[in-house]
Amino acid sequence: MNPLRSAILAAARSDRLRSTIAAAPPTRAVVDRFVAGETTADALRVARALVDAGCAVSLDHLGEDVTDAAEAGRAVDAYREVLEAVAAAGLADRVEVSVKLSALGQGLGAGGEAVAYEHAAAICAVAADAGTTVTVDAEDHTTTDSTLRVVAKLRETWPWVGAVLQAQLRRTEADCGTLAGPGSRVRLCKGAYAEPESVAYRTADSVRASFARCAGTLLDGAGYPMFATHDPVLVRVLTDRLRATGRDPATAELQLLYGVRPDEQRRLVDEGHTVRVYVPYGTQWYGYLMRRLAERPANVAFFLRALAGR
Ligand code: FDA
DSSP 272: T
Going by alpha carbons, the residue nearest to atom 13 of ligand 1 is: 230
Going by alpha carbons, the residue nearest to atom 1 of ligand 1 is: 231
Measured from CB, residues less than 6 Å from any atom of ligand 1 are: 137-138, 164, 166, 189-193, 228-231, 255-257, 260-261, 278, 292, 295-296, 299
Q: Please report, for residues 118, 143, 245, 251, 298, the alpha-carbon distance to residue 106 in angstroms, rounded to integers and kept in the order given.
A: 10, 8, 40, 31, 33
- Per-residue confidence (pLDDT) for residue 310, from 0 to 100: 44
Asked, for residue 21, whether it belongs to a domain, the answer is no
- Per-residue confidence (pLDDT) for residue 306, from 0 to 100: 62
Asked, for residue 26, whether it belongs to a domain, the answer is no
Which residues constitute the domain of residue 58?
36-284
Instruction: State the sign of the Cα–Cα–Cα–Cα dihedral 65, 70, 76, 78.
Output: negative
Q: What is the spatial distance between Cα 110 and Cα 217, in angstroms, rounded to a whole number?
A: 34
For residue 63, what is the domain's CATH number? 3.20.20.220
Q: Which atom of ligand 1 is nearest to the CA of 277?
A: 34
Asked, for residue 120, whether it belongs to a domain, the answer is yes
Going by alpha carbons, the residue nearest to atom 32 of ligand 1 is: 228
Q: Please report, for residues 3, 20, 78, 196, 302, the alpha-carbon distance to residue 202 in angstroms, rounded to integers and kept in the order given.
A: 12, 30, 36, 8, 25
Asked, for residue 291, whether it belongs to a domain, the answer is no
Q: Which atom of ligand 1 is nearest to the CA of 135?
A: 28
Catalytic residue among 94, 155, 185, 187: 187
Asked, for residue 10, whether it belongs to a domain, the answer is no
Q: Which residue of 185, 230, 273, 289 sits with most ligand 1 atoms within 8 Å of its CB, as the best mutation to test the pocket?
A: 230
Q: What is the spatial distance between Cα 78 and Cα 24, in angstroms, rounded to a whole number?
A: 26
Asked, for residue 241, whether it belongs to a domain, the answer is yes
Asked, for residue 24, whether it belongs to a domain, the answer is no
> Where do runs of H (alpha helix) occur along 131-171?
144-157
Q: What is the spatial distance between Cα 294 and Cα 243, in angstroms, rounded to a whole number?
A: 32
- Per-residue confidence (pLDDT) for residue 295, from 0 to 100: 83
Q: Does 187 participate in catalysis according to the annotation?
A: yes
In the predicted model, residues of the chain with pLDDT beneath 70 are 1, 8, 16-17, 19-27, 302-310
Cα of 129 vs centre of ligand 1, distance in Å, is 31
Asked, for residue 19, whether it belongs to a domain, the answer is no
- Contact assessment for residue 91 and residue 56, using Cβ atoms and an 8 Å cutoff: no
- Per-residue confidence (pLDDT) for residue 296, from 0 to 100: 79
Q: What is the total count of domains within the chain?
A: 1
Q: What is the spatial distance between Cα 236 and Cα 228, in angstroms, rounded to a whole number?
A: 13
Three-state SS at 254: strand
Q: What is the spatial distance between Cα 287 and Cα 45, in angstroms, rounded to a whole number?
A: 23
Q: Does 137 participate in catalysis according to the annotation?
A: yes
Q: Which residue of 135, 185, 195, 257 sits with most ligand 1 atoms within 8 Å of its CB, as the best mutation to test the pocket?
A: 257
Output phi, psi for 270, to 5 deg. Answer: -60, -30
